[in-house]
Amino acid sequence: MTSRHIRISGLIAVLIAAPLASPLAAQGVSAQLSGTVRSASDQALAGATVVIRNVETGFVRTVQTDATGRYVATALPVGPYSVSVTKAGFHAASNIKVNLNLGDAAPLNIKLAPESSTTVEVVAVATQVDTDRSAAVTLFTPESLNTLPVKGRGFLDFALLSPQVTISSERGNIAIGGQRGINTSINVDGGDYNDAFFGGTNGGAEGKTPFTVSIEAVREFQVITDGASAEFGRMGGGYLNAITKSGTNAVSGSIFYYNRPQSLVAKDHQTGKEVSDFKTIQYGGSVGGPIIKDKLFYFVAFDTQKESRPADFFWHNTSFDFNNPAALNPTTYPNDAALVARDGKYETKADSLTIFARLDWFVNADHSIQFRINRSTFNGNTNAGVTNSFSNVSTDDIKTLQLVGQWNWTIGGNWLNEFRVNLVKEELPRIPNSTSAQVTINSVGTYGKYPFTREFETTRTQISESLTYVTPTMQIKGGIDYNGTKIAEVFAPFTEGGYTFSNTVANGGNPARTALENFRLGRWSSFTQNFGLNGLTGYQAGDLQTTEKELAIFLQSDWRLNDSLKVGLGLRWDRQEHADISILDYSDPLSAAPPLSAKIPTDSQISPRLSFTWTPARDNGNTVVRGSLGSYVSRTPSVFIYQAFTQNTKRIGAYTLTAIGGNGAESASTIAAAAAGGVLFGAGFNAQNPAILSGVPTAGGTKPDIFTFAQDFKNPKTDRLNLGVERAFSFGWVFGLSGALAHTKNLERYNDINLGTPTLNAQGRLVYPSTRPNTNFRRMAVYASDAESKYSALTFSAKYNKENSPLQAQIFYTWAMDRDNDSNERNFSSSAIQDFKRLNDDYGYSVNDRRHVVTGYLSYLEKNWTGIQFGLNLRYLGARAYNPTLGDRNNDSFFNDRLIGTERNAFRETAQTVADLKISRDWTFARKVKFTVSGEVFNIFNHTARFDRVSLSGTDAAVTTTLTKTAISSPRQVQLGVRLAF
């Protein structure tokens, strides 16, 4: 612990409570101050008056100690405080300095000397470890946000420096504690900031948007991996929590500019080429201050990023050799003219702008009101890359708006009411660069329209109300939270059609041909097109307008049973009512026209929570043991309902024609049907503008896929157990060890009930018959909730935050194992499950499994000679699992079958090591103006993570293995910046 003994003749005691070495944080949008007031002889002082004043804003909270000498003040705005204590018959303690971070609950204990004493002795003690916190938390304070390198301007980047946090390999979302990325929750100022439709952060657009809330507007940020109270839900146990900056009695602000010079960018790790046309600049500023001193405050900020990247596109040879382009000859091969016309590199952009404003009004000692607005825009390209021509690129024009209003009302000395309204709007339109059919030449490149056309808008209204009763030894909080999301989406994939040209082997007199040779001959392997049915156009058929409703009620109680033990009990009820749309009923699986008589089931589940902290009395508060056990129910993103709404034989028909079979033999009947429908490519047709079908094909194509929900469908539910210990040492380090177990059931996946009975082939694989039981359809997909995952982790932590030390550090090593039988977050066109009817055969490593991970940061200020501040972020990521596949060997229409006898995700990528460095120097002018020059280096050592990715081809009887050199790392970049703060 940290203690101060101050002997003075006046009535002044000073304590700078440590910017604590462990993240003092539990949950919510505020802090808490509690502790005891005792006499010098260690007698409890009842009725002592504790006045807690925020130094920045003048906000004051006054509380009294109870019969045991305890006091508590909850819902305190974060920031620096001055604490004074008075008690009749004792010398007063004045001006005890305490800095409260987000969620702080560590006790501040004070001893007063009697008035009869000639020497005033005030003892104020703040512990280095938070003995009240049961949650597993990593906190990022204003100091760490300012001194550490950050590649973008998004606060979420810091989450990756926490233990048990990864990036989902499928959608680029932040995944915590072995859960899918779509099952992570993000809160900003207590408001839900999640994309209710797609999953992930609001406006995140599957990882393309660099930020929607600027780091300039964020005051503090925390990552909770385990032990969330019953107040928090709609996630798999872990969530991200941020609070924004507010104005103070002093006018302050900043202006900044950052640039990444192209000349300081290393060669591309995949191609080995110099990076050209590289640009990233970021600039912005902020200002805040008083409108009415001690009463009304404002803070505004804006942040802009302009970014462009080269896409060194060219038509490849058949092995994607990045130094060996295809030899095109439009004179000899007329179809090559379509490729030549679309050849050449191009620039992609990712431009962002955020505008933030906040008002804080302290009406009086009992009432405070906050209002915040955040607006972001993003204009960037999607589907760009070395295998996609410029015509195959689209532009995402993303806009978000969040309005948050909160009213806190202190009722008497023991009650606190919190009321919050959170309005969030998200727009995600996609603008294509082409309107012609997409043409994909395998291992060569793609041109034509990116087929996933989208118009999208959601508007969320969240209303939260909670009431807290608090005493120095007990806190009970109950509340209700409502989320209503209006959805408007138009999604029209492959309305303009899409061709695929593949390699073919010699068969039946047909010679072996590469994909490029087949393209030159116009011999496509497959053609896909979606149609609107029953008189609807493709765009009308994909138009979804609906509302999703979520309701939660919670009760959380925490008791301090004695000086050493605190226990928490919580209960939460979550209900998610899905869109009121009619979906297919598969009661008769052989029906030619299943009725639209079913509904998506409403989910309702209860989540109990238990937590504790134990502080051994004999260790004087240096050691804390904390644990938690609880259930957590995730939301189901609304995107799942879309397929069931449109792919139901009434709105959209998706048809695929196959002209060249997998064995290399052309199908005469399919070619004839394609010709009758107008689908000719190559001979006699201009490949510049590929033809599409004029109507629904009557022959030669695949049957449509249809989707529905299982009537016992439930939201995922995770049971989590966490147990850990932390020990603070006098030399400033705090060491910890914790273990976590998680078991998630009801994970979403989809099943196909239209497969028939499989038979064993000569190599021992179960193969389904070519003719489906219901011959009217291909897949009869059912969204089920019967997948599961198991996660275990052991984390060692080392934290350093010794008072007045120039060194600050948090380092974590985590050993983890993540296993499941389906890692698919929300992909409808592919499946990770090899055999829908044998789910447990797919039980293996998750695609996010990494065995060993080291994360953390340290910062150091060299005070004596240079005044230079060093900040270092470190991440070592163990090799992640992946799954080579052999194509569709079991005839279920998914090309995801493994080598016989191979466990799912049995192969590994290479490990990654990423170290980022920030070096900065401050100059102070006129006592309040600070000018900072900084240089940041991302991937300091230019560590290249390349490995031979295994891919398989052929049949079960004759398998060909191909190794492709794959890079999963980013080249070194340098960012130079200047900042003026006042």
CA distances from 740 to 37, 163, 177, 721, 847 (A): 36, 11, 8, 6, 19
DSSP-assigned letter for residue 762: T
Q: Which two tokens stand for residue 373?
A: 């607005």
Instruction: Tell me which residue has tokens 């109270």.
Output: 229
| Rounded to 5°, angle at Cα 123 from 122 and 124 | 120
Region for 638 from its dihedrals, namely left if φ exceeds 0, alpha if ψ lies in -120 to 50, beta otherwise = alpha
Residue 621 has a CB neighbour count (10 Å cut-off) of 23
Dihedrals phi, psi of 638, to nearest 5 degrees: -70, -15
Query: Cα separation of 896 and 882, whole Å?
Result: 12
At position 432, the amino acid (one-letter code) is P
pLDDT over 60 at 641, yes or no:
yes
Strand partners, 961: 952
pLDDT of the residue at 509: 62
Dihedrals phi, psi of 341, to nearest 5 degrees: -65, -20
If one compares 454 and 831, the residue with the highest pLDDT of the two is: 454
Average pLDDT over residues 810-837: 87
pLDDT over 70 at 349, yes or no:
yes
Mean pLDDT score across all residues of the chain: 88
At position 429, the amino acid (one-letter code) is P
Dihedrals phi, psi of 159, to nearest 5 degrees: -60, -30
Confidence of residue 160 (pLDDT cuts 50, 70, 90): very high
Q: How many angstroms from the chain centroid is the CA of residue 525?
A: 38
The three state secondary structure string of 145-178 is: HHHCCCCCCEHHHHHHHCCCEEECCCCCCEEECC
pLDDT of the residue at 272: 84
Confidence of residue 277 (pLDDT cuts 50, 70, 90): confident
Of 662-676, 742-756, 851-865, least confident by mean pLDDT is 662-676
Distance between first and last Cα of the chain: 34
pLDDT of the residue at 394: 94
Average pLDDT over residues 390-413: 93
pLDDT of the residue at 698: 65
Dihedrals phi, psi of 590, to nearest 5 degrees: -105, 5
User: What share of residues in the chain are helix, strand, coil (percent, to 5)?
Assistant: 5, 50, 45
Confidence of residue 4 (pLDDT cuts 50, 70, 90): very low
Cβ atoms of 819 and 787 within 8 Å: the answer is: no
The pLDDT tens digits of the residues spanning 278-328 come to 889 999 999 999 999 999 999 999 999 999 988 889 998 877 677 788 999
At position 553, the amino acid (one-letter code) is I
Query: Cα separation of 577 and 636, whole Å?
Result: 10
Q: How many angstroms from the chain centroid is the CA of residue 484?
A: 21
Residue 924 half-sphere exposure, CB side, CA atoms within 13 Å?
3
| Rounded to 5°, angle at Cα 382 from 380 and 383 | 155
pLDDT over 80 at 804, yes or no:
no
Rg (CA), the chain: 31
Cβ atoms of 317 and 323 within 8 Å: the answer is: no
Query: Cα separation of 734 and 230, whole Å?
Result: 28
Q: Where are the alpha helices (DSSP H) in 639-678?
A: 639-646, 668-677
Q: Which two tokens stand for residue 505?
A: 């082997």
Query: Cα separation of 379 and 307, whole Å?
Result: 10
Average pLDDT over residues 195-204: 84
For 290, residues 6+ apart whose C-beta sits below 8 A from its C-beta are 247, 248, 249, 250, 251, 296, 297, 298
Cβ atoms of 498 and 529 within 8 Å: the answer is: yes
Query: Cα separation of 50 and 94, whole Å?
Result: 10
| Nearest by Cα to 505 from 719, 277, 661 | 661
Query: Cα separation of 45 and 262, whole Å?
Result: 66
Residue 413 has a CB neighbour count (10 Å cut-off) of 10
Task: Name the E strands within 103-217.
Answer: 108-112, 120-126, 136-140, 165-167, 174-176, 185-188, 191-192
For 292, residues 6+ apart whose C-beta sits below 8 A from its C-beta are none
The pLDDT tens digits of the residues spanning 593-614 come to 999 999 999 999 999 999 999 9
- Strands 218-226 and 239-244, how do they pair? antiparallel
Query: Cα separation of 579 and 646, whole Å?
Result: 13
- Output b/e per residue, 196-208; b: 16+ Cβ within 10 A: bbbbbbbbbbbee
Query: Cα separation of 235 and 223, whole Å?
Result: 13
pLDDT over 60 at 24, yes or no:
no
Confidence of residue 699 (pLDDT cuts 50, 70, 90): low
For 453, residues 6+ apart whose C-beta sits below 8 A from its C-beta are 430, 432, 490, 491, 492, 493, 495, 539
| Rounded to 5°, angle at Cα 782 from 777 and 786 | 150
Region for 95 from its dihedrals, namely left if φ exceeds 0, alpha if ψ lies in -120 to 50, beta otherwise = left
- Strands 852-861 and 279-292, how do they pair? unpaired
Cβ atoms of 916 and 157 within 8 Å: the answer is: no
Dihedrals phi, psi of 424, to nearest 5 degrees: -130, 130
pLDDT > 90 in the chain, percent: 60
pLDDT over 50 at 7, yes or no:
no
Dihedrals phi, psi of 173, to nearest 5 degrees: -85, 160
Longest Cα–Cα distance of the chain, Å, equals 111
pLDDT over 80 at 813, yes or no:
yes
Instruction: Tell me which residue has tokens 């394609």.
Output: 674
Instruction: Tell me which residue has tokens 């657009």.
Output: 205
Helix and strand numbers (H, E) in the chain are: 6, 54
Average pLDDT over residues 199-221: 84
Query: Cα separation of 478 and 572, whole Å?
Result: 10
pLDDT over 60 at 682, yes or no:
no
At position 754, the amino acid (one-letter code) is N
* Full DSSP string of 834-886: S-TT-GGGG-EE-TT-BSEEEEEEEEEE-TTTT-EEEEEEEEEEPPBEE----
Q: Where are the alpha helices (DSSP H) in 618-750?
A: 639-646, 668-677
Query: Cα separation of 85 and 271, whole Å?
Result: 67
- Output b/e per residue, 473-492; b: 16+ Cβ within 10 A: bebebbbebebbbebebbbb
At position 129, the amino acid (one-letter code) is V
Dihedrals phi, psi of 641, to nearest 5 degrees: -75, -15
Choose from 90-104, 176-190, 648-662 the range with maximum mean pLDDT. Answer: 176-190
Residue 300 half-sphere exposure, CB side, CA atoms within 13 Å?
3
pLDDT over 90 at 107, yes or no:
no
Average pLDDT over residues 444-467: 94
| Nearest by Cα to 227 from 632, 611, 762, 803 | 611
Q: How many residues does the chain have?
A: 982
Residue 232 half-sphere exposure, CB side, CA atoms within 13 Å?
28
Going 556 to 562 to 566 to 568, the CA torsion angle's sign is negative
pLDDT of the residue at 186: 92
